[in-house]
Amino acid sequence: MRLALRIAPPATAVLAALVAGHLWVGSDLPPSRMAELLIGSPPETFEDIRFSHATLPRMALALMTGLALGLAGSLFQQVTQNLLASPLTLGAASGAWLAMVAGTLIAPTLAAEHGAWLSLLGASLAFGLVVAIAGLRGLMGLHAVLAGMAVNLLLGAVASALLLLKSPYFGHLFVWGAGDLGQTGWDRTLWLLPRLLPVLAIALLLGRGLALLRTGAAGAEARGMTLAPFLAIAVLLALALTALSVTAVGMIGFVGLLAPNLARLSGARRPVEELLASAALGGILLLGADLIAVIASNALPDMVPTGAATAVLGAPALIWLLGRRLGAQDHIRFELPPGPARLSRRTKFAVLLAAVALPSVAFLVEQNPEGWSLTLPEALILEFRWPRVIAAAAAGLGMALSGVILQRLVRNPLASPDILGMSSGATFALVGAAVLGGGSVHDFSAGLAVAGSLCVLAMLLWFGRRHGHAPAALALIGIALGALLDALVKFALAAGSEDSFAIVGWLGGSTYRVGPEAAVALALSMLAALALTFAFRRWLTLLSAGDTVAAGRGLSLPLARPASMTLAASIAAVVTAFLGPVSFVGLLAPHMAVMLGARRVETQILLAGVLGALLMTCSDWLGRMALHPMQLPAGTIAAVLGGSYFVLLLARGRILQQ
Amino acid sequence: MKYLRVLILSLLPVAAEAVTIEDRRGPQDFQTIPQRVVALDWTMATQLLDLDLAPIGAPEIELYRDWVRDPAMPASVQEIGRRDAPDLETLARLRPDAIIGCDRSADDVSSLERIAPVLVFDCFSARHDNIAEARRIYLALGALFDRERLAMERLATAESEIAGHAADIAPDVAQLGTAAVVRLNGDATAWVYGSNSFAEAALESLGLSNTLPQAASRWGVALRPVEELASADRGALLAILPHQADPALFESPLWRFLPAVRDARYLEVDPVWSYGGALALLRHVRAFHAALSGPGA
């Protein structure tokens, strides 16, 4: 209660200021008329209606959605004991959104009538996948967030494939996907309120259980608490809150992540205090972000969706906030996923066979108007085909190398260049230039992409230095960048022009625009990268053994860490500059290599490189031929294949060993 | 000497048909009239179809039939894939004599040139007048296919038909004075047509000024919150079908209180494609005229 007394006055003051701001910007009525309307005077002019049916419900919805997201974030964070848990970082929000997008495209009436259930299903499935990848105990740490980011990438790939094939004439989906709070009446608000209140009430009853949970799982069970049903209820409530907010206003990032952290910062200690403070702060945060979106919409030619504003505010706030709290205390040892101790002869043979067969298929098997056929293509067609096959293989090799380095550096088998924001820098630079410069994403050069990557790398190194290059700090930058980028892309998409469509295509990571010279250049630079990574092999072995061991063996950590990080980021930057962002390959290839028995760094580098190249060759071929003549980006296919691989692993019960 | 005469003779019939077309990169020479032409986008597809030429290949034909409709895409036209990434192998198999497109990057053009001569025009840009440019491109294509006269005639006919429409609704126009053109989207946003769009040019040729002017942009359209439609306090508010709006929008108090809706100045326009070729202007005028003089008006 003392907390309430301390927080309430400033919070109320901020809230009042934001409400005043909204009324100032959103209505031209004098305050006396507003007061009349509030006490029930009938509206007469459009200005009256705008105040009572657009500005007021917009504020109410911002507060309620922010409250739901803040509460969901707090529940997720308390259940998982993880500062970085939130509807967005655990995949739940993207699951809900993809379910709604797919529903709207496939069964519009169903989606319109039962949107909330559909998005709850999507959120639950996505979260279930994250839990399955990270493992239940893994939810407590970096594992969960990395798995969540991977699931976000996967779902994002599926959504963008749908959009590419369905074209940009689902403009309303885009606006809503970017999280727009614009209202034309009280319907949404009145729909949300009765659904929100019971969830809120139940959540507040969980206080005692959450307090027990803090003593640790074992402690809670010793005091006679059955953990499983309690956790299930808490998580289900958080998922329901996520689904409700996504159904009501679309994708709003960051609020659920920031609010609980701000609540703790302002001194919320007991679980119920934390829940209440997070909810209140979530509402205030979203109301503030929405005010910025309204002001920006008035100033710019195109409307700015609220979700874009939350990310632009949220990313720096998150980095600042958590940057103060992340220690360099990180004594994780790198645990390889399970697998045989060495490569069996059978595995070697199978890989060799695939290395011959897949490229041959990529070159020779085609779909044309007559159907599938195996033909030696004529010279001109071959001229278009070989650069794409070579570029795909080289990109796969590069991303795999980058992944091996990062997984050993971060000491986490779920780390990868795309998840840690290594490709985001390049993407950010290109998409940003296209959005701000008002051109097509294809007009810009690879140089700009590399420059963007270098900026991110500099940021990572600077930020990492303050935290001894702790893995959590890396992951954090990755998340912040990824979400910022997402907001930028959604802002571009909301405009719904042909240029936005080009951006979606480029984000898939495609070999379409790699010409012969570029393909050769990319292949040569990736072979050089292979040689360099090989030269780093002793460092990588020591880095993954833990700081004490590494330092004991005479490895200079202040030198080795930034150097290997620079190598990993540069490789990813070059690939991104040529193809666009390629996700999942950097995560999967090193993982698969270990599961096949490549447990030493040297064999892992080689085998992961070969597997990455094969995975991309295969994805590129599928992208070129599966829906011929419609071209799907190789990176999108690789993400879908990668996601399926994870699901397959889960089905066979090969979950990551903690 | 003998050889030289043979050389000149062999050049003669070709020279008679040689034609030079000015595209984005400068003059492009064609020795013969291209017979097999691929259109890389819907804008160019409509430009060709309006010259009574069927391209042999075009992108996303199924969607074209939903969204563009007029001019109709013949059944013979082959699908070439996504409009931002047409399949080069399919293009090579079609063996075109010319590939025509809008606003392609230099790298894309150089790979297309390995298949056939390419014409690439700047169709949509914030730095020029999209409508004047569409006319210029239409005439250039007319010259290329030796249909200059047809192109001129079509433009002249369009102009006189537009003048006819304008004269026909002059009384209504005198009353209205202004109009705004939008596409409704979702439950709280609308695309509003402004400078550099066919919609605004069509309003102007009917003698109407745009009630909701938007700054010139590449596509001539801006996404705005639906409440801004209240600024259309006089004149007609034209919404181009198909709606992408939620049905709920039309039920909302905000919509019913919009000045244009309340005074019954809101009219729906039959589907018309906003990014077509030169004759798109006429199609917009026809559609607007029909809406303004229809039963709803």
Torsion of CA A349, A355, A360, A365, to 10 degrees: 90
Instruction: Find the farthest-apart pair of alpha carbons in chain B and give their distance in angstroms, rounded.
Output: 88
Min Cα distance A618 → chain B (Å) is 18
Determine the length of chain A: 658
The whole-angstrom separation of Cα B139 and Cα A449 is: 39
DSSP B105-141: -HHHHHHHTTTS-EEEE--S-TTS-HHHHHHHHHHHH
DSSP A196-220: HHHHHHHHHTTHHHHHHHHT-HHHH
In the 8-state DSSP scheme, what is residue A340? -
Query: Residue B297: its pLDDT value, please?
Result: 65
Q: What is the pairing mode between strands B189-193 and B98-102?
A: unpaired
Min Cα distance B297 → chain A (Å) is 22
Average pLDDT over residues A16-32: 92
Separation in Å, CA A638 to CA A153, B278, B284: 11, 42, 44
Location of structure tokens 């970096």: A142
The whole-angstrom separation of Cα B297 and Cα B229 is: 18
Q: How many Cβ atoms from other residues are within 10 Å of residue A537's Cβ?
A: 16
Location of structure tokens 């490229």: A359
Lowest mean pLDDT among A353-357, A501-505, B272-276: A501-505
Task: Indicate the pLDDT class of residue A336, thresholds 50, 70 and 90.
Answer: low
Nearest to A181 by CA among A129, A132, A79, A249: A249
A386-652 has the same fold as A3-299: yes
Query: Which of A22, A46, A436 is most worth mutating to test chain B (most B CB atoms within 10 A of its CB)?
Result: A46
Average pLDDT over residues A287-295: 95
Q: Do A184 and B244 touch (CB under 8 A)?
A: no
Cα A348–A353–A356 angle (5° rounding)? 130
Query: Residue A471: its pLDDT value, please?
Result: 64
How far from the centroid of its chain's Cα atoms is residue B105's Cα?
20
Task: Indicate the pLDDT class of residue A584, thresholds 50, 70 and 90.
Answer: confident
Task: Indicate the pLDDT class of residue A550, thresholds 50, 70 and 90.
Answer: confident
Average pLDDT over residues B217-225: 90
SS3 A470: coil
Q: In B, which residues are within 8 Å of A443 by CB distance?
A: 105
The whole-angstrom separation of Cα B123 and Cα B236 is: 29
Interface of A with B in 355-384 (CB under 8 A): 366, 368-369, 377-378, 380-381, 383-384
Query: Residue A324: its pLDDT value, please?
Result: 63
Nearest to A65 by CA among A271, A262, A287: A287
Q: Is residue B155's pLDDT more than 80?
A: yes
Torsion of CA A148, A154, A155, A159, to 10 degrees: 150
Asked if B80 contacts B58 with a C-beta cutoff of 8 angstroms, the reply is yes
The whole-angstrom separation of Cα B203 and Cα B83 is: 29
Average pLDDT over residues A531-550: 89
Which runs of consecutive H residues, i.e. helices, occur in A439-556? 446-466, 471-494, 498-507, 516-535, 537-543, 547-552
Highest mean pLDDT among A278-287, A402-411, B247-256: A278-287
Asked if A567 contacts A532 with a C-beta cutoff of 8 angstroms, the reply is yes
Q: What is the mean pLDDT of chain B?
A: 90
Q: In A, which residues are within 8 Å of B218 by CB distance?
A: 438, 497, 499
Q: Do A502 and B186 touch (CB under 8 A)?
A: no
Lowest mean pLDDT among A71-85, A480-494, B112-126: A480-494
Instruction: Express each pLDDT in A420-467 by its tens digit.
Output: 777 778 888 888 887 777 666 776 777 788 788 888 778 777 776 766
Query: Residue A657: its pLDDT value, please?
Result: 43
Nearest to A202 by CA among A183, A180, A230, A243: A230
Query: Residue A655: its pLDDT value, please?
Result: 47
Domain boundaries, chain A: 3-299, 386-652
Q: For residue A381, give the chain B residue with the closest CA.
A: B89
Task: Indicate the pLDDT class of residue B236, thresholds 50, 70 and 90.
Answer: very high
Q: Is residue B10's pLDDT more than 60?
A: no
Query: Residue A332: its pLDDT value, please?
Result: 52
Average pLDDT over residues B253-258: 92
Q: Do B227 and A182 touch (CB under 8 A)?
A: yes
What angle do helix axes A115-134 and A142-166 make, rounded to 10 degrees? 130
Query: Residue A518: its pLDDT value, please?
Result: 92
Query: Residue A31: its pLDDT value, please?
Result: 92
DSSP A529-584: HHHHHHHTHHHHHHHTT-HHHHHHTT--HHHHHHHHHHHHHHHHHHHHHHH----S
Q: Do B254 and A175 touch (CB under 8 A)?
A: no
Q: Among residues of chain B, what percentage have pLDDT more than 70?
A: 94
Q: In B, which residues are within 8 Å of A167 by CB distance?
A: 60, 63
Task: Indicate the pLDDT class of residue B160, thresholds 50, 70 and 90.
Answer: very high
Query: Residue A325: its pLDDT value, please?
Result: 60
For residues A88 and A218, the model is more confident at: A88
Asked if A376 contacts A364 with a C-beta cutoff of 8 angstroms, the reply is yes
Lowest mean pLDDT among A47-51, A573-577, A634-638, A650-654: A650-654
Domains of chain B as residue ranges with CATH: 19-123 (3.40.50.1980), 169-293 (3.40.50.1980)
Q: Is residue B9's pLDDT more than 70?
A: no
Taking one residue from A and the other from B, the number of pairs with CB-CB distance under 8 angstroms is 160
Instruction: Express each pLDDT in A511-534 by its tens digit.
Output: 998 999 999 999 999 999 999 999
Q: In A, which residues are within 8 Å of B57 by CB distance?
A: none
Q: For residue A45, give the chain B residue with the closest CA.
A: B257
For residues A426 and B140, the model is more confident at: B140
Q: Is residue B225's pLDDT more than 70?
A: yes
Query: Radius of gyration over alpha carbons of chain B, in Å?
Result: 22
Asked if B275 contacts A496 with a C-beta cutoff of 8 angstroms, the reply is no
The whole-angstrom separation of Cα A15 and Cα A59 is: 11
Query: Which of B67, B254, B258 is most worth mutating to test chain A (most A CB atoms within 10 A of its CB)?
Result: B254
Instruction: Express each pLDDT in B266-289 by its tens digit.
Output: 999 999 999 999 999 999 999 999
Instruction: Express each pLDDT in A41-62 by its tens digit.
Output: 898 899 999 999 999 999 999 9
Q: Is residue A327's pLDDT more than 90?
A: no
Q: In A, which residues are within 8 Å of B43 by CB distance?
A: none
Q: Is residue A614's pLDDT more than 60?
A: yes
Q: What is the pairing mode between strands B178-186 and B209-210?
A: parallel
Q: Is residue B39's pLDDT more than 60?
A: yes
Q: Do B252 and A187 touch (CB under 8 A)?
A: yes
Average pLDDT over residues A462-486: 70
Encoded amino acid at A630, one letter: M
Query: Residue B246: its pLDDT value, please?
Result: 78
| E strand or H helix that includes residue B102 | strand B98-102
Interface of A with B in 287-326 (CB under 8 A): 297, 301-303
Q: Do B90 and A628 touch (CB under 8 A)?
A: yes
Q: Is residue A328's pLDDT more than 80?
A: no
Task: Indicate the pLDDT class of residue B53, thresholds 50, 70 and 90.
Answer: very high
Contact status of B168 with chain A (Cβ, < 8 Å): no
The whole-angstrom separation of Cα A505 and Cα A440 is: 11
**Two tokens, residue B266:** 């809101």
Q: Is residue A94's pLDDT more than 80?
A: yes
The whole-angstrom separation of Cα A262 and Cα A554 is: 41
Task: Indicate the pLDDT class of residue A1, thresholds 50, 70 and 90.
Answer: low
Nearest to A414 by CA among A155, A538, A590, A639: A590
Lowest mean pLDDT among A44-48, A173-177, A403-407: A173-177
If you classify domain A386-652 with CATH, what class do you get?
mainly alpha
The whole-angstrom separation of Cα A189 and Cα B230 is: 23
Query: Residue B6: its pLDDT value, please?
Result: 47
Query: Which phi and psi angles does A208 have, rounded to 5°?
Result: -65, -45
Instruction: Find the farthest-apart pair of alpha carbons in chain A and give their distance in angstroms, rounded.
Output: 85
Contact status of A521 with chain B (Cβ, < 8 Å): no
Q: Do A184 and B114 touch (CB under 8 A)?
A: no
Min Cα distance B221 → chain A (Å) is 9
Query: Residue A178: its pLDDT value, please?
Result: 79
Q: Among residues of chain A, what percentage have pLDDT more than 70?
A: 91
Q: Do B107 and A515 touch (CB under 8 A)?
A: yes
Query: Residue A167: its pLDDT value, please?
Result: 57
Average pLDDT over residues B64-72: 90
Nearest to B28 by CA among B133, B99, B89: B99
Q: What is the mean pLDDT of chain A?
A: 85
Nearest to B213 by CA among B37, B197, B205, B226: B197
Average pLDDT over residues A327-343: 63
Q: Is residue A88's pLDDT more than 50?
A: yes
Question: Hey, what CATH topology would domain A3-299 get?
Answer: ABC transporter involved in vitamin B12 uptake, BtuC (1.10.3470)
Asked if B179 contacts B235 with a C-beta cutoff of 8 angstroms, the reply is yes
Half-sphere exposure of A31 (CA within 13 A, CB side): 5
The whole-angstrom separation of Cα A328 and Cα A533 is: 26
